[in-house]
Amino acid sequence: MNRILLILFFLILIYRVSFSQNKEKIAIKTLNDGRFNIILYEDFSWKYENQDSVLLILQKEDSTRLYNFIMENKFLSCDSSLFWSNFDSSKVWSNGEANYKIYLDTLLIDLLCAGRFVMPHKGNITSKFGWRYGRLHDGTDIQLYIGDTVVAAFDGIVRYTGVHPGYGKVVLIRNFNGLETLYAHLSSIKCAINQQIKAGEHIGLGGRTGHATGPHLHFEIRYKNTPINPEYIIDFEKKELISNKYLIVPKNFEYVKEMNEAQYHIIKSGDTLGAIANRYRTSIKAICKLNNISETSTLSIGQKLRVR
């Protein structure tokens, strides 16, 4: 008997829930907000008359207002003050340590405000921007052969040339559009500091100097000393810019915050991925993803492993 009553109770409950969900709302009044009609319902909810059409209009208007605001207040077009600030020809990094907080703003850059764009070398991508072996790979690697011609991507002035322990022979150009471009692992440098350069002009020869496992061009795009993923700006398959303008947004620099918060573990005798994961309260899968390794990878004593 109790079981029958229980079944009846659930059947009534299901019926009421279903009825309440299917029950059509009763409109009690239609108002006008000066532009659109608004329907009020007896349960105190409301919606626009022709809701979908109205929302599309509002979305378009919001986008237009945002675009106009950016163009009027956030548009950088060949800004000379930014170009000459920290123009240090003695080192690769001119602005000191990257600080995530200085990038919490939006800025629109005219990439072609001072000229054209040319691919630095028309090879295929061999390694992308992002975390690799527990460290940030802050550029895009482009396939080439030793001795291949490397050219400037944008018009600008050479800020730095020299030999760097990691980059090898390197050229860094401050472009008139407010960005910097870096060309590393060269076998030979064909330009000089403070030389004015045009897009497409020969600046060096491809090589494998510095920390390079094989010949390739390591290509970086930077804003205020901090790398931006080149694939946000360049279509490497078509060998052209994605757009003539580039909107810099805080999301582009989240990796800076991630770098500051990253934790590492130095491999010691007897360490296993499982033991390391337990120690840092993470998972083997997460560690493998951060370091681009597999669960069966061999760990070497002294190896630096990113754990967070």
SS3 for 227-293 is EECHHHCEECCCCEECCCEEEECHHHHHHHHHHHHCCEEECCCCCCHHHHHHHCCCCHHHHHHHHCC
Q: Which residues contact 8 (CB under 8 A, 6 or more apart)?
A: none
DSSP state letter for 35: S
* Per-residue pLDDT band at 17 (split at 50, 70, 90): very low
Note whether 45 and 124 are same-domain residues. no
Give residue 19's pLDDT. 47
103, burial (CB in 10 Å: exposed 0-12, middle 13-18, buried 19+): buried
CA–CA distance from 217 to each of 97, 208, 258 (Å)?
24, 8, 26
Q: What span, in angstroms and rounded, lies between the C-alpha atoms of 285 and 281? A: 12
Lowest mean pLDDT among 105-119, 159-173, 248-262: 248-262
CB atoms within 10 A of CB 105: 9
Note whether 168 and 235 are same-domain residues. yes
5 within a domain of the structure (yes/no): no
Give residue 268's pLDDT. 87
Note whether 228 and 116 are same-domain residues. yes
182: enclosing H helix or E strand: strand 180-186
Q: Is 189 helix (H, G, I), strand (E, B) or coil?
A: strand
Give residue 23's pLDDT. 58
Q: What is the CATH number of the domain that holds 276?
A: 3.10.350.10
Q: What is the CATH number of the domain that holds 207?
A: 2.70.70.10
Q: Yes or no: say if 244 and 264 are a contact pair by the CB < 8 Å rule.
A: no
pLDDT tens track for 93-133: 876 555 556 566 788 889 998 899 999 999 999 999 987 76
- Total domains present in the chain: 3
Q: What integer is the mean pLDDT of 175-187?
A: 95
The more confident residue out of 25 and 239 is 239
7 within a domain of the structure (yes/no): no
Lowest mean pLDDT among 97-106, 134-143, 150-159: 97-106
pLDDT tens track for 54-86: 788 878 777 777 777 777 777 777 766 667 778
| Predicted confidence (pLDDT) at residue 291 exceeds the cutoff of 80 | yes
Note whether 210 and 163 are same-domain residues. yes
CB atoms within 10 A of CB 61: 10
Among residues 242, 259, 276, the one where a domain terminates is: 259
Note whether 161 and 243 are same-domain residues. yes
| Predicted confidence (pLDDT) at residue 185 exceeds the cutoff of 80 | yes
Note whether 280 and 190 are same-domain residues. no
pTM score of the predicted model: 0.69
Q: Is the dihedral of CA 195, 214, 262, 267 positive or negative?
A: negative
The more confident residue out of 257 and 109 is 109
Q: What integer is the mean pLDDT of 5-20?
A: 50
201 within a domain of the structure (yes/no): yes
**Residue range(s) defining the domain that contains residue 52:** 27-67
Note whether 129 and 255 are same-domain residues. yes
